[in-house]
Structures are given as structure tokens and as C-alpha cells.
């Protein structure tokens, strides 16, 4: 990453949009080049319009449903695939978090929000959005019965993490617990269909099986708000920063996972009792104008998508962080106008939005960290976080898969599940009182519960 960059902060999406609406692309040469800002703007819009005519390519470039026109895409305010997101969260993500939340409730001190000079306040934790959660258990296709976790191992099957019995290497899937006295033959037929890729709940309904039992569900609603403290707890406010944008090689099906992860983390932390704010972070790197000299650098802006005292508006958040129509239409527009605003050298390549996680971290920590007293001293140094700061930061960038496996057959640290597991453990480790209450084995179990394979892959 270049050490030369500028950053501009916006309080709301409306402020961001109004700022760029006030910049009209001019028919004047870019700094140090022969093209004009208006020509670059027109060329980009015409290119996007041509892409819309090729449905297959448009689905990769913008995502589904494909916008009818550039104007229709600009009018969008919410994410178009909310049904998919809810299914992934309810059937795939939240079941993996059940043990983490259970341990957090039973053993960890959950912060109680207090009014303070930072503007933190009480708000709706959206308990109903989490509700009851199924406990998934291991079922052996060969044994036609549930088996214990210590009988099972993970393995890599062409990049997908799957489960099998240690004894005979036959398949194992994760399925809900059925009500005692269930028909084992029906259960076997149902679970075999699930193993072959059918939807869990559709199959259970088809065979008229019932989910239930003394340990079939877990609920974390009852005790979430009972703890009270006489003074505000340290590190009870979380800022989640989600990188917006990616290079041209990433499709809509890849791009969405970064936004899904950011919103899932914010939702989890809000539910656990943390005050959460969410920021979109955009970085574009190219030859910028530095005091009359063309040098490689970055132009950045941030926008507050959710303040501490606001509830989580998931459709709006996902539109800005997981939807390529927002990035490749609105942000492409902003890119050109931002370059004109700074009188930069620019071209139809539109710069690069591929900055890595470390580069985004450096920008965020140095810009926000000073005001939040996030680190010790006058400059951010990794490992020198101020333990007395009110804040915890989580930065989400360049997550482009759900559960991609690494070369060793484990869930990749770069995937949504890998990052989710790491962040969940970090939530525990950020508070030493919490960390000391759990053994290393318990922490390992929490990690494995999040990254273990399940049959509900979308």
C-alpha cells in the first residue's frame, strides 16, 4: 500500500450521495493526461449499459436480478436477494453460532449499555430476529442413527469440507434432533435425501417428521439483558468497518460474502449486548495529484451506515456492502467525480479497489483510532491497542467465499466461516475476564463449531 492517501468521512449515505451529486463531470483534461473527466464518465456509463444487454455477463458483473437500466439500478435502495441472505443466516450461519452464544451467556460477562459522552445508548437488540435455534447433530448414513462428535472427523472433498465416521469413513451429515419415538426408516430416507443435497426442512416436512426433544433447541433470549453494572464496562462499543468494492475479476456471487460477513458480525454483537456502529470504507488506488506531482497513492472515504443508537437495517446495509450494482454503478460514478474533485490523473481503468486487509486496517486505525484513543501513543502500532479504550474494531475486507477449504482441507481463514470463527474468538479474547473463564479446549471447541461442515450449504 502507498503511504500517500487522503480520507474523507461522511456521516450518512445521504450526505455521501449529496456530495457527489454536487460534482458534475467536466469536459477538461485530467491532470497529467489527455483524457477528460466527462469522457471517462460517459465511457464508463456506456460500457455498463452494454453489459446490461448481455444477461449472463450482467448477472456476473452486477448480480441478480439484473437491473433493467442504469437509471433503475441507481434508484435501488435495498438488497435484492434478502430471501437468500435470510436462508443462509437461519439455516447455515446461526446454527453454527449457537454454542458460542450459549457459552457467552453462561460464562462470559456481557456488557450492559450505559449513556456516556460517546453517544452510546440503549436500543432494540432485535431479539426476535434470532429467536430459537436448532441444535444440529451428527447422523451416520451407514449406521442409520445419530453418532457422537468424537466418532466423527472432517475431510476435504474437492475443496468442500465434509464429515465421515472415523471407523469406516462412511458419510456423516448434520441434521436436527427428531422427536423421541420417530420412525427410523422414514428418518433414514429423509436424511439420505438431505445428504444428496435436498433442503433439510422441506425433506423433514415431506416425510412428516417432527423436530424436537429436550436438547433439540437452544434459546438465548431469556437472560441476555439481566446483567447490570454500576459503571460502563470497558470495550463495550464496537465499530465494524466493511470494505466496499473489489477488482473487476470478482463476480457478484463472490462479492456478496464480504457484506454478509460484516452484517452477520454486527447482528451477533448487537444481540450479545454490545453497542455497534457500522462504517463502509472505500479505497481507490492510482496516480493521484500530490501537490502538483503525479504519484501513486489512494483516495479514500468512509460513510457511517449505522450509528450506535440505530437499529440494524439489513436490506440497506447489504445493498451498500454486498450488492455489485451499488459498487459498479454508483461507486463508479463517485470514483470519477472524486478524481475530478482532487484534480487527479485518471483514466477509463478507474483505478484499483483491490487493497488488502492490512492496508485497509492501517487507514482505519490511523483515522478513527486517534479520536477513539484506540492505541497507545500518537500512531497506530499493531499490538499496542489501548486496553482502556471504550472501543473494539473489526475490519471486514476481501472475503469472497462462504466455506472454501485451504490446502490442508480445513476451512480457509479467508472464507466467511474462517473469518467469523476468528472474530468470535477475538470477541472472547478482547476481554481478559471473559478469556480466563474458558479453557483452551473450550475455545477450540467454539472455533470448530463455527467451521464444522453442515448439510445446509446454500
If asked whether residues 257 and 398 sit together in one domain, one would say yes
| Per-residue model confidence as pLDDT tens digits over 2-57 | 568 899 999 999 999 999 999 999 999 999 888 999 999 999 999 999 999 999 99
Same domain as 317, residue 193: no
206 and 243, same domain (yes or no): no
Residues 92-147 have pLDDT tens digits of 888 777 767 666 543 444 444 443 334 333 333 333 334 445 667 889 989 999 88
Is 342 within the bounds of a domain?
yes
pLDDT at 64: 94
365/427 same-domain check: yes
| Contacts of residue 391, Cβ cutoff 8 Å, sequence gap at least 6 | 235, 237, 238, 239, 372, 374
Task: Please tell me the total count of domains within the chain.
Answer: 2
264 and 157 both lie in a single domain? no
Query: Cα(163)–Cα(152) distance, rounded to whole angstroms?
Result: 7
Percent of the chain with pLDDT over 90: 42
* The pLDDT value given to residue 410: 79
Q: Which residues contact 109 (CB under 8 A, 6 or more apart)?
A: 227, 233, 431, 433, 434
The cell numbers describing 75, all together, are 434508484
- Rounded to 10 deg, the angle between the 37-52 and 332-341 helix axes is 180
Indicate whether 205 and 227 sit together in one domain.
no
Over residues 381-399, the pLDDT tens digits come to: 565 677 777 788 899 999 9
pLDDT for the residue 430: 65
Query: What pLDDT is stored for residue 214 in this prediction?
Result: 56
End-of-domain residue from the set 215, 246, 269: 215
> Cα–Cα distance between 369 and 120 in angstroms, integer?
17
Name the pTM for this structure: 0.71
- Structural domain range at position 147: 136-215
pLDDT at residue 327 greater than cutoff 60: yes
365 and 299 inside one domain: yes
CB 296 within 8 A of CB 287: yes
Structure confidence at residue 376 (pLDDT): 66
Are 235 and 325 in a shared domain?
yes
Same domain, 248 and 170: no
The answer to whether 138 and 149 are in contact (CB under 8 A) is yes
Amino acid at each position: 500500500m502507498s503511504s500517500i492517501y487522503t480520507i474523507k468521512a461522511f456521516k450518512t449515505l445521504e450526505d455521501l450521495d449529496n456530495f457527489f451529486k454536487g460534482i458534475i463531470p467536466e469536459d477538461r483534461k485530467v491532470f497529467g493526461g489527455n483524457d477528460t473527466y466527462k469522457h471517462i464518465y460517459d465511457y464508463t456509463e456506456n460500457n455498463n449499459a452494454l453489459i446490461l444487454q448481455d444477461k449472463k455477463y450482467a448477472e456476473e458483473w452486477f448480480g441478480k436480478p439484473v437491473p433493467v437500466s442504469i437509471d433503475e439500478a441507481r434508484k435501488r435502495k435495498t438488497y435484492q436477494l434478502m430471501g437468500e441472505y435470510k436462508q443462509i443466516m437461519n439455516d447455515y450461519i446461526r446454527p453454527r453460532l449457537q454454542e458460542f452464544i450459549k457459552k457467552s451467556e453462561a460464562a462470559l460477562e456481557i456488557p450492559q449499555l450505559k449513556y456516556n459522552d460517546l453517544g452510546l445508548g440503549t436500543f432494540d437488540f432485535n431479539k426476535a430476529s434470532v429467536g430459537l435455534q436448532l441444535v444440529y447433530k451428527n447422523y451416520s448414513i451407514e449406521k442409520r442413527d445419530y453418532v457422537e462428535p468424537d466418532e466423527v472427523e472432517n475431510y476435504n472433498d474437492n475443496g468442500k469440507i465434509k464429515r465421515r465416521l472415523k471407523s469406516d469413513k462412511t458419510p456423516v451429515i448434520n441434521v436436527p434432533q427428531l422427536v423421541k419415538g420417530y420412525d427410523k426408516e422414514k428418518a433414514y430416507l429423509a436424511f439420505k435425501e438431505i445428504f444428496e443435497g435436498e433442503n433439510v426442512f422441506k425433506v423433514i416436512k415431506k416425510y412428516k417428521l417432527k423436530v424436537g426433544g429436550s436438547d433439540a433447541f437452544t434459546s438465548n433470549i431469556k437472560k441476555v439483558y439481566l446483567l447490570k453494572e454500576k459503571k460502563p464496562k470497558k470495550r463495550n462499543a464496537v465499530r465494524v468497518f466493511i470494505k466496499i468494492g473489489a477488482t473487476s475479476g470478482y463476480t457478484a456471487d463472490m462479492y456478496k460474502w464480504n457484506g454478509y460477513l460484516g452484517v452477520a458480525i454486527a447482528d451477533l454483537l448487537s444481540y450479545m449486548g454490545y453497542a455497534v456502529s457500522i462504517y463502509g470504507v472505500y479505497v481507490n488506488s492510482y496516480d493521484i495529484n500530490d501537490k502538483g506531482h503525479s504519484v501513486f497513492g489512494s483516495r479514500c472515504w468512509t460513510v457511517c451506515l449505522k450509528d450506535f443508537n440505530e437499529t440494524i437495517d439489513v436490506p440497506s446495509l447489504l445493498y451498500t456492502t454486498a450488492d455489485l450494482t451499488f459498487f459498479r454503478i454508483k461507486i463508479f460514478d463517485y470514483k470519477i467525480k472524486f478524481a475530478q474533485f482532487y484534480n487527479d490523473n485518471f483514466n477509463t481503468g478507474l483505478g484499483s479497489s483491490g487493497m488488502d486487509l492490512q492496508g485497509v486496517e492501517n487507514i482505519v486505525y490511523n483515522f478513527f483510532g486517534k479520536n477513539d484513543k484506540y492505541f497507545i501513543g500518537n500512531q497506530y502500532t499493531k499490538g499496542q491497542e489501548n486496553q482502556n479504550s471504550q472501543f473494539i474494531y473489526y475490519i471486514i475486507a476481501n472475503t469472497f467465499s462462504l466455506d472454501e477449504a485451504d490446502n490442508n482441507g480445513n476451512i480457509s481463514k479467508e472464507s466467511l466461516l474462517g473469518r467469523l470463527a476468528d472474530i468470535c474468538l477475538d470477541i472472547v479474547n478482547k476481554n481478559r475476564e471473559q478469556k480466563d473463564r474458558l479453557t483452551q479446549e473450550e475455545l477450540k471447541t467454539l472455533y470448530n463449531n463455527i467451521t464444522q461442515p453442515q448439510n445446509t450449504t446454500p
